[in-house]
Amino acid sequence: MAGDWIKMRVWIASDPQTLAMADYLAGEQAFVDWLTNAASDGCDDPCNDGVTRNVTRVTRNVTARVTVSGLLLVWGIANDRGKRDEDDLILSPCFLNHLDEMSGIPCFGDAMNYVGWAFEEGSEKEIPAVRFPKFLLHNVPAEDRQRSTNAERQRRHREKTKKTSGDNSQENNLDSNVTRNVTVTPQRREENSRVKKSKDTHIKRAPYETRFEAFWQAFPKVRRQGKEAAAAAYKRAVTRLHLHPDPHAYLLERLALFAESDTAKSKYCWGPTPWLNQGHYDDDPAAWARDDPEDKPFDVADLHLDED
């Protein structure tokens, strides 16, 4: 597949087998003609002579680099199309001279065979094949990569399905236990729905922070309303008091003073959320005092009943 990678050693151009391939190719006239013609096209005879002499001097270095390029092409195609045979890779149907076409280099298949990197297999009655010995010690063929990719995709799907099933199993068990061998009436369905919603709400609710719970319990009971909003307001108040040595202790201390005040015992007592949001914890306690008798807590003893 396009975009696939194969492993190649960074010093492959200096590998003894690569150099042996380069020497083998340099001794093949078809390869020399192919290499020198590309450089001498379009030149007159004097130019051709110069190019031929120059190529002859550098052919060992050039052929080593050309060999590496050819190996990359051949190994890449074999890795994509070949089949596993233990640690070997089998490319079939294929002849050694097919490797020349893959690499674009004459005599390349024979050069790989010369150093033991490729062998032709199969008789006249068998499908021809080229074997690449020990190739899979360092590479993974395309069929194995595809199988591994499919397996990984299926594993992720199973985990996702298992998680979804686990989240719903408790609800499914509740429904099956309620409805088994029972005629479900509309009223019963409504009751089941209320139980399910109540259970979901309980499960999803996160526990409140311990120090907020202490604040909540200390607040005047008559105004303990809107606990979730109060928890958010408490967190903001702690943030505003970050320069204080202990914001939590400070809020509890001020709340204790407020709880004993006339305002806290009157109908004008703030709820916990406005008390925190409006910063009443920083009020002068004198501001919480009220002299109006109508603001005092309601007591049945204050009722004056007319006597007939």
Give the list of residues 6+ apart from residue 112 with CB closer than 8 angstroms, or none: 21, 71, 74, 96, 99, 118
**Residues 75 and 99 sit within 8 Å (Cβ to Cβ):** no
Cα of 193 vs its chain's centroid, Å: 37
Predicted confidence at residue 308, as pLDDT, reads 42
Q: Whose CA is closest to 108, among 134, 84, 85, 77?
A: 77
Bond from prior residue into 186 cis (ω within 30 degrees of 0): no
* Angle (CA) 252 254 257, round 5°: 110
Predicted confidence at residue 305, as pLDDT, reads 44
Instruction: Check the CA dihedral 150-151-152-156 and report its sign.
Output: positive
Predicted confidence at residue 272, as pLDDT, reads 92
The pTM assigned to this predicted structure is 0.39
Q: Where do the domains of the chain lie?
A: 12-143, 210-298
Predicted confidence at residue 253, as pLDDT, reads 92
Predicted confidence at residue 122, as pLDDT, reads 76
191 conformational bin, left if phi > 0, alpha if psi -120 to 50, beta if neither: alpha
What's the whole-number average pLDDT of the chain? 78
**Residues 109 and 100 sit within 8 Å (Cβ to Cβ):** yes
Predicted confidence at residue 214, as pLDDT, reads 93
**Residues 48 and 40 sit within 8 Å (Cβ to Cβ):** yes
In one-letter notation, the amino acid at residue 260 is: E
What pLDDT digit, counting tens, does each position of 157-168 carry? 888 888 777 666
Predicted confidence at residue 84, as pLDDT, reads 87
Collect the ranges in the chain with pLDDT lower than 50: 1-2, 47-48, 50-58, 182, 297-308
- DSSP class of residue 205? P
What pLDDT digit, counting tens, does each position of 241-269 carry? 988 899 999 999 999 999 998 888 888 89
Predicted confidence at residue 232, as pLDDT, reads 93
φ, ψ dihedrals at 53, nearest 5°: -65, -40
